[in-house]
Chains A and B, each alone.
Chain A
Amino acid sequence: QVQLVESGGGFVKPGGSLRLSCAASGFSFSEYYMSWIRQAPGKGLEWLSYISSSGRTTYYADSVRGRFTISRDNAKNSLYLQMNSLRAEDTALYYCARDWGMSHLAWGQGTLVTVSS
């Protein structure tokens, strides 16, 4: 069955960097668009970025454009999110999701990022 497992979260100081990974299995990874979505503690969902199946096309939310970079390695069935210039407001649970048309069909369990001095 479809499985998405995020990793790479942790504690980082403001201004620091972190790279999240999402390992995909149970489906043909290279055929699907993928997204990153986050949820701050006790708050709602915020879409961050998506990447096309080939990796050639990417889009970002205004809140992270220029600081975050989405990428993928189809040979490794993996999705990544490079996060730079992190701020306290980036503290959240980060989910990767397999897109299906214009929706997010399958979700991982998330990896927690905490930005604090």
Chain B
Amino acid sequence: QSALTQPASVSGSPGQSITISCTGTSSDVGGYNYVSWYQQHPGKAPKLMIYDVSERPSGVSNRFSGSKSANTASLTISGLQAEDEADYYCSSYTSSSTFVFGGGTSLTVL
């Protein structure tokens, strides 16, 4: 199972919006509405930010939103804040009844 494709890095200024893409295939991202997104600060465990493409767990800011079109999912963070600086990973359920992560995207808040 090949890893999902994410940009290595993205950046934005405070208050701006950024979007991180996550590209897979019809066997994972495109085949199921089971894409999730995780935020990881240095030295910390990942935190679930988005599940089932666009749902937010309780307690996650509504500045975080998710979407999907064909084989590509996206995470958008609006009103960027310094605390959003972290690594972000997408994940998808697959046709093999397994999961696959993306390579991760480092977000820098300028």
Seen from chain A, the residues whose Cβ lies within 8 Å of a Cβ on chain B are 35, 37, 44-47, 50, 59-62, 95, 100-105, 107-110
What's the minimum C-beta distance from A106 to chain B, rounded to whole angstroms? 8
B3 touches A44 (CB 8 A): yes
| CB contact list, B91-106 vs A, under 8 A | 91, 93, 96-104
B 29-64 binary contact with A (CB < 8 Å = 1; else 0):
000101010101000011110011000010000000
Closest to A108 in B: B45
B45 touches A109 (CB 8 A): yes
Q: A45-B89, A102-B36, A102-B51 are in contact. Are A107 and B101 (CB under 8 A)?
A: no
CA distance A35 to B101 in the complex (A): 13
B47: which A residues are within 8 A, CB to CB?
A: 107
Q: A45-B104, A46-B101 are in contact. Are A107 and B46 (CB under 8 A)?
A: yes
B32 touches A44 (CB 8 A): no
A47: which B residues are within 8 A, CB to CB?
A: 91, 98-101
The yes or no answer to B69 lying at the interface (CB within 8 A) is no
